[in-house]
């Protein structure tokens, strides 16, 4: 029986049918109360029900809440399957999908329990990927990780120490061909600006620029 004027789930009723959703491959089931569709559940929850079972308001609310927690956790697993994520990224993803704060908190608790979300491990992964494929200086790396919700302590634990000259040089190699025909002054200005936009210090950028200029000059003399 639905509450007067209610559009959502019924407040109580008798189960008259439990049918698998074809488009979900049997993973979800539609539950009908008193001949009308009432709500859908994950297969594991639907398996606990039986035809002619009476459901009251509290039982329905508990089933729907349990189902939402399961769906939120499944969405989090899917999101994490592509690459490591920060805790904030996971929460934002679940919020975007419309899950309730309670369901999100439940998913986070489960992920934390099995260490599937670890901001230090995520930060280390992020820095390693950046340095391997698109080198950045400490300034930009720190800003990127902060934007992902990673705390200062976790960031400090993974940022590369020492001279950034080698990383700046690697980053500059990606632009060397397009700038190699410029005169020295223009080359220094453009390459230096490029490296500093990527978070490298002035000193590291300047050292890398001169090394890159030497490479460009050597290549020109050989051609």
What would the two tokens of residue 92 be?
């934002």
Specify the pLDDT at position 219.
Answer: 81
What would the two tokens of residue 88 be?
């904030």
Extents of the domains making up the chain? 6-55, 57-117, 119-158, 165-222
| Cβ(112)–Cβ(149) below 8 Å | no
| Count of residues in the chain | 223
CA 36 – CA 182 distance, rounded (Å): 75
Give residue-wise pLDDT tens across range 33-92.
Answer: 999 999 999 999 999 999 999 999 999 999 999 999 999 999 999 999 999 999 999 999
> pTM to 2 decimals?
0.79
pLDDT band at 8 (very low <50, low <70, confident <90, very high): low
Answer positive or negative: Cα dihedral of 80, 85, 90, 93. Answer: negative
CA 78 – CA 124 distance, rounded (Å): 21
| CATH of the domain spanning 57-117, picked from 1.10.10.10, 3.90.550.10, 3.40.50.720, 3.40.50.970 | 1.10.10.10
Give the CB-side neighbour count of residue 156, counting CA atoms within 13 A. Answer: 3
Specify the pLDDT at position 64.
Answer: 95
């Amino acid at each position: 029986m639905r509450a007067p004027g209610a559009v959502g789930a019924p407040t109580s009723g008798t189960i008259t049918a439990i049918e698998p959703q074809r488009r979900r491959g049997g993973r979800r089931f539609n539950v009908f109360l008193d001949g009308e569709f009432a709500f859908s559940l994950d297969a594991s929850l639907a398996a606990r029900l039986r035809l002619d079972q009476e459901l009251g308001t509290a039982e329905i609310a508990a089933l729907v809440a349990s189902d939402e927690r399961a769906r939120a956790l499944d969405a989090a697993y899917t999101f994490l399957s592509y690459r490591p994520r920060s805790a904030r990224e996971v929460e934002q993803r679940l919020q975007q999908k419309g899950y309730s704060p309670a369901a999100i908190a439940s998913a986070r608790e489960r992920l934390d329990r099995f260490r599937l979300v670890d901001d230090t491990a995520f930060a280390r992964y992020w820095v390693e990927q950046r340095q391997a494929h698109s080198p950045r200086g400490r300034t930009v790396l720190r800003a990127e990780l902060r934007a992902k919700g990673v705390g200062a302590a976790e960031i400090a634990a993974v940022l590369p120490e020492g001279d950034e000259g080698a990383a700046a040089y690697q980053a500059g190699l990606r632009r060397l061909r397009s700038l190699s025909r410029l005169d020295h002054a223009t080359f220094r200005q453009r390459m230096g600006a490029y490296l500093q936009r990527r978070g490298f210090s002035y000193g590291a950028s300047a050292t890398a620029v001169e090394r890159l200029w030497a490479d460009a000059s050597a290549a020109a003399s050989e051609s």
